[in-house]
Structure 1
Amino acid sequence: MSTRPAEPRITRSLRLQLQGDWGTANLHRVCGWISQELTDRAGPHTRVGIWNGRGFSDNVRAVGRGDVDIALTTPAAFTAVALDGRGTYRDECYPDLRALGVVPQRDRLVFAVHADLGVSTFAELRELKPVLRVATSVDDGVNAVGLAAHELLARSGVDVEGWGGQFLGDERPFESLDHVLAGRANAIVHEAVMLPHWQQFGGDYRFLEVEPEVLASFDRDFGWPAATVADEFFPGRSAFQTLDFSDFLVVARADMAEDLAYAVAWILGETRHLLEAQYQHLPPERSPVTYPLDPPTMGITPIPLHPGAAAYYQALPAEFVS
């Protein structure tokens, strides 16, 4: 008879700093979940602080520099370049980063233009060179959406400002989606595709498939993977390829105590029902957290697992069923 991985008990009291998102989104919710369950299983004077962050390279840097003990960042794959100093981390790399696990979120970065522009491919877009008002996030070296959006357009030969257009740059997806709904934008490059706003305007927009050579360049230069958007995920749109933007990565450093790393990984896998319950009013494909959570999959990370966390995932029964 198989047994579950042993529940952690840390007798010493801990002082930990976590970093999440702006305060009301999913990364902060995960931080609260980890904090609660860890405090229950550590010494009596344990205290955990949760700092506001943006959830992108700022959180990775906060861990790498030792400002916080644990942070969450998204998309998970974008963190791999922090190990060897590529892309936005070219001035400062963090080879000692380690993962404690991932919280799955099936997401994509998509580019859509209003149907009135009369284009449905990047080739047609380059030929017509329409004036675009593009809603996206700020490209400031921190926001992963803004970074990926500008890279995607540049690598696809789309010169927004050179064609007489402009970027409408904001921090969070809600502002960008509101630009589209209000008619201030006629194009959008963004993630959080499960939000209902996309369904409100999706029928009036054309979602452009990213060209294979562009996707290959992202994988070659940054290790950023491609992914498929399923048939009819957006109204009237068949399946298409674009840039993957999935998963929340839980990041720590190699010098974290092994029992603490094990405890966090155990919490992610063995108390997952506490997080799942907060999203079950939504269909899994429209949820910001893609449930049911699967512990073996949560241990598949784009950067090396901390040995303590790896011990949890290795202890899962071979016949595990989520």
Structure 2
Amino acid sequence: MNPSYASTGRPAEPKIERSLTLHLRGDWGSANLHRVCGWIAQELADRCGPHTRIATWNSRGFSDAVRAVGRGEVQVALATPTAFAAAALDGRGVYADEFFPELRALGVVPQRDRLVVAVHKDLGVTTFAELRQSKPALRLATSVHDGVNHVGLAAHELLTRAGVDVVGWGGELLEDERPFESLDHATEGRANAIVHEAIMLPAWQEIGRQFNFLEVEDDVLESLHDDFGWPAAVVDDEYFPGRAAFKSLDFSDFLVCTRADLAEDVAYAIAWVLGETRHIIEGQYRHLAPERSPITYPLDPVTMGRTTIPLHPGAARYYDALPTA
């Protein structure tokens, strides 16, 4: 029998006799990436030697996480959105000065998310064309544009390619690290425009009653895909109150990444944990509707193995062993 299979027809449960010391990178400390790291650490340690130690380092979850793995500072890191890491393989965008062809994926944790652009209804603007024509003074909330934060990076690229000049039009940028501060700026009246993600957060529903969401134009989306591999996606009808479906930038999924030199049995074990113990992480989000959850459950192991960077061979062994429908 293939050693990747158990008698149940599911991929075989890993058992690593030696004790491991592993370093993971999650998020700032209290968000979803750290929670995923805790899940991986718990289930992996249960299947390794008795003196296994797994530490989770604070991170920002963006290009810093990818660089930490690529440089060998940690063995595993989580980064979001998944598609943004592909540029690290061949040195595009923020990775032009340092790229990592040995970057590999262990899987993805699904999160259906979008980067969206919204302006206050008082501005009377419903499209980017109208925005360029009126050139209002925007007080725009978004994340810092420092080459690390993917939200700030994407907002800068999107607005620049769309012909929006916030400062040149007499406005100002309200830049923060996390979405919560940006959402507060919008809901409390300090910002009359916002570019951000985490659209499942409840504050977006309040914003949706006061703001118009702008569809990103096709030429902008195509240029972002051509230059960086960033995909477009649709925000569904009525996801925001009264707003029909519209196109924007995809900001989905948490990438679990490593390097090609991670031991194959460890890579297999982590992929197995992601796919076969998914009920543990799902249980932490089931009080939320799937479309409003930071992790889009139910998790599907086959989908979790579809990544924008090559799978580590050990992880691929797990996903290849999944039973076909």
Q: Under a length normalisation based on structure 2, what TM-score does the superposition of the two structures give?
A: 0.98
User: Is 2:186 the partner of 1:215?
Assistant: no
C-alpha distance in 1, partners of 2:109/2:279? 12
C-alpha distance in 2, partners of 1:253/1:198? 36
Structure 2 residue aligned with 1:307: 313
Which amino acid in the other structure matches residue 314 of structure 2?
G
1:60-209 alignment runs, 5 A limit? 60-209=66-215
Which amino acid in the other structure matches residue 132 of structure 1?
L
Which amino acid in the other structure matches residue 119 of structure 2?
V
Structure 1 residue aligned with 2:285: 279
Which amino acid in the other structure matches residue 314 of structure 1?
D
Judge conservation of contact 1:2–1:317 (CA < 8 Å) in 2.
no
C-alpha distance in 2, partners of 1:199/1:135? 17
C-alpha distance in 2, partners of 1:179/1:186? 8
Structure 1 residue aligned with 2:3: none
Q: Give the CA deviation at 1:181.
A: 1.0
Which amino acid in the other structure matches residue 262 of structure 1?
Y
C-alpha distance in 2, partners of 1:15/1:310? 23
1:237-316 alignment runs, 5 A limit? 237-316=243-322
Structure 2 spans left out of the alignment, 5+ residues: 1-6
Which amino acid in the other structure matches residue 143 of structure 1?
N
C-alpha distance in 2, partners of 1:305/1:181? 41
Q: Secondary structure at the match of 1:13?
A: coil
Structure 2 residue aligned with 1:9: 15
Q: Give the CA deviation at 1:2.
A: 6.5
Q: Secondary structure at the match of 2:15?
A: coil
User: Is 2:233 the partner of 1:227?
Assistant: yes
C-alpha distance in 2, partners of 1:119/1:179? 19
Judge conservation of contact 1:137–1:145 (CA < 8 Å) in 2.
yes
C-alpha distance in 1, partners of 2:226/2:8? 41
RMSD: 0.7
Q: Give the CA deviation at 1:203.
A: 1.1
Q: Secondary structure at the match of 2:261?
A: coil
Which amino acid in the other structure matches residue 83 of structure 2?
A
Structure 2 residue aligned with 1:55: 61
Runs of 4+ in 1 over 3 A off after TM superposition: none
Q: Give the CA deviation at 1:204.
A: 1.1
Q: Under a length normalisation based on structure 1, what TM-score does the superposition of the two structures give?
A: 0.98
Q: Secondary structure at the match of 2:288?
A: coil
| Number of aligned residues | 319
Which amino acid in the other structure matches residue 47 of structure 2?
R
Q: Give the CA deviation at 1:201.
A: 2.1
Which amino acid in the other structure matches residue 65 of structure 1?
R
C-alpha distance in 1, partners of 2:313/2:44? 18
C-alpha distance in 2, partners of 1:30/1:203? 33
Structure 1 spans left out of the alignment, 5+ residues: none
Which amino acid in the other structure matches residue 199 of structure 1?
Q
Which amino acid in the other structure matches residue 138 of structure 1?
V
Q: Output one character per residue of 1:206-253: Cα deviation in whole Å (capped at 9) or x when no partner.
A: 000000000000110000000000000001100000000000000000
Identity of aligned residues (%): 73
Judge conservation of contact 1:86–1:222 (CA < 8 Å) in 2.
yes
Q: Secondary structure at the match of 1:305?
A: coil
Which amino acid in the other structure matches residue 304 of structure 1?
P
Judge conservation of contact 1:131–1:165 (CA < 8 Å) in 2.
yes
C-alpha distance in 1, partners of 2:131/2:117? 12
Q: Secondary structure at the match of 1:80?
A: helix
